[in-house]
Amino acid sequence: PSSCCAMAMAGQRSAKYQVPEWHGRNARILQSSALVGEQSERGRAEAKHLSEHATACAQRAQQHSRNAPAQRLRDIHFWRVELQREILELDAENELLAQQKLRLQRALDATEVPFAVVSDNLQCRERRQPPDLVMDEVERELLKESDLIRNIRDLLKRTIIQATNQMRANQIQKEVCELDWSDKVETYHIDDKCVTYSNDSTNIQFHPSSVKFEEGASTPRTWAQFSHDNISKAEEEKLASVQLRSLITNVIHNVSEELRMQRAAGNEALANRCRELSHAKIRLEQHLGKILKDVGEEEATIAALKDSIREKETHLKVAQTRLYDRSFRPNIELCRDEPQFRLVSEVEELTVLLEALKRKLMECEQHLKELEETRMKLEKEIAVKATSIFIDRDKCLSFRLRSPLELEVASYQ
């Protein structure tokens, strides 16, 4: 190494190796080959183990994925059935409520007849003649009936609006449930199709972007709570609808009873008033008969007085003529004798009698005038009573009795 030749060869390599180098290199190659073989064998073993593990995991995961949708399908089916039941019940409830609303409308339409009757009664009674144009019990009952019918119509209108709003709420909740049910049906079909997928399916492919969760996706708890809330709200609306139907039945029954009782009170007041008017008319007719009899007797008395006056005037003429003729006796014959005194006394007596008869005649004529005035008053009062009886009995009461009406019955017609 320390020779000049070695120094000249430094930094250069000959093509030949030394024997130790050759043995070392072979040993390294064998060692490297053995190491690579061992690594390859270990890799193959790990690959086989990994493949077997991956296969087992994939099978377990696929089986779990198949079992999980099956449970999910049962949950979806449960809520789908519950929603469908609520939809059908809401639909049936809306039909029942619609029938009740129709009853309300028919009852409201039926109030037009009694309102027209009571209005006609009030208008007819306005045509009564004084002094029968009074605010009597009939008038008060008819006014109460008119006010009652107005209140009933207002109540029925408000109840119709309430029923309409409830039907709208039922329909809205039904549509919410139908939308939820439709989503459940679509989801059920999707999950049912997913359960049928297998490794041999021909319509499977890679969807790398499907791994991530969708933004705003629900959780199983919120998913179940959503349907539970929809069903709870549907139950609330259904309960409110049932209560409203019961209220409508009670309203129709109550207003029908109130109107029936008030109409009965009005009819009774009219009947009593008719009897009162009839009794008054009969009494007036009785008085009229007596007055007519008195008129006849008074006229006969006046005629007798006139005959008596004419007779007494004739007697007076005779007496005065005798006195007049005797006043022409001549001279001493013009004597105040007994016949003269008798004639003067007769004239005086007849004059007094005539004056008394004439005064009595004037009194009788005044009485006759008063009787005639009373007769005319009685006849006028009888005519007024007849008009009132015609209005109350023939126009009002008979009209009311010919048109009996029960709102509760009319609501079903």
Report the candidate in 90, 81, 79 with the shortest Cα–Cα distance to residue 235.
90
Amino acid (one-letter) located at 388:
S
Amino acid (one-letter) located at 46:
E
What number of CA atoms fall less than 13 Å from residue 84's CA on the CB side?
10
Residue 7 has pLDDT above 60, yes or no: no
Are 368 and 302 within 8 A, CB to CB?
yes
What mean pLDDT value characterizes the chain?
A: 87
Strands (E), 14-144: none
What are the tens digits of pLDDT across the range 211-254? 566 666 778 888 889 999 999 999 999 999 999 999 999 999 99
Q: What pLDDT score was predicted for residue 5? A: 47
Report the candidate in 407, 394, 406 with the shortest Cα–Cα distance to residue 124.
394
DSSP 313-326: HHHHHHHHHHHHHH
Q: What pLDDT score was predicted for residue 340? A: 85
Residue 352 has pLDDT above 80, yes or no: yes
User: 320-328 long-range CB contacts below 8 Å, 24 or more apart?
Assistant: 320/347, 323/347
Q: What pLDDT score was predicted for residue 275? A: 93
Distance CA(180)–CA(83), nearest Å, equals 8
Mean pLDDT is lowest, of 140-149, 213-222, 259-268, 287-296, for 213-222
Are 96 and 240 within 8 A, CB to CB?
no
Helix (H) or strand (E) holding 389: helix 338-389
Residue 142 has pLDDT above 90, yes or no: yes
Q: What pLDDT score was predicted for residue 118? A: 92
- Provide the 3-class DSSP secondary structure of residue 247: helix
Q: What pLDDT score was predicted for residue 15? A: 63
Q: What pLDDT score was predicted for residue 61? A: 72
Residue ranges covered by each domain of the chain = 290-328+336-408
DSSP 329: -
Using the structure block, give the residue that is written with the tokens 């089986």.
Answer: 63
Q: What pLDDT score was predicted for residue 371? A: 93
Distance CA(318)–CA(323), nearest Å, equals 9
∠ CA(366), CA(369), CA(371), 5° rounding? 110
Residue 374 has pLDDT above 90, yes or no: yes
Distance CA(337)–CA(352), nearest Å, equals 23
Strands (E), 159-230: none
Mean pLDDT is lowest, of 54-58, 302-306, 405-409, for 405-409
200 class by beta-carbon count within 10 Å (0-12 exposed, 13-18 middle, 19+ buried): exposed
Report the percentage of the chain scoring pLDDT > 90: 55
Distance CA(397)–CA(23), nearest Å, equals 144
Q: What pLDDT score was predicted for residue 359? A: 94
Distance CA(6)–CA(11), nearest Å, equals 10
Q: What pLDDT score was predicted for residue 289? A: 94
Residue 265 has pLDDT above 60, yes or no: yes
Distance CA(398)–CA(267), nearest Å, equals 9
What are the tens digits of pLDDT across the range 59-117? 777 677 666 677 788 888 999 999 999 999 999 999 999 999 999 999 999 899 889 99
Residue 1: count of CB within 10 angstroms of its CB: 7
Average pLDDT rounded to a whole number, residues 17-27: 83
Both structure tokens of 371: 């009787």
* pLDDT tier at 1, thresholds 50, 70, 90: very low
Residue 405 has pLDDT above 80, yes or no: no
Q: What pLDDT score was predicted for residue 241? A: 95
The answer for residues whose C-beta is within 8 angstroms of residue 140's C-beta and 6 or more apart is 269
Q: Is the pLDDT higher at 203 or at 106?
A: 106
Using the structure block, give the residue that is written with the tokens 């969760």.
Answer: 213
Residue 118: count of CB within 10 angstroms of its CB: 24
Report the candidate in 77, 82, 81 with the shortest Cα–Cα distance to residue 188.
77
pTM score, whole prediction: 0.73
Distance CA(193)–CA(195), nearest Å, equals 5
Report the candidate in 243, 237, 245 with the shortest Cα–Cα distance to residue 100.
245
What are the tens digits of pLDDT across the range 270-323? 999 999 999 999 999 999 999 999 999 999 999 999 999 999 899 989 988 988
What are the tens digits of pLDDT across the range 154-185? 999 999 999 999 999 999 999 999 999 999 89
Average pLDDT rounded to a whole number, residues 338-342: 87
Distance CA(321)–CA(316), nearest Å, equals 8
Residue 208 has pLDDT above 80, yes or no: no
DSSP 403: S
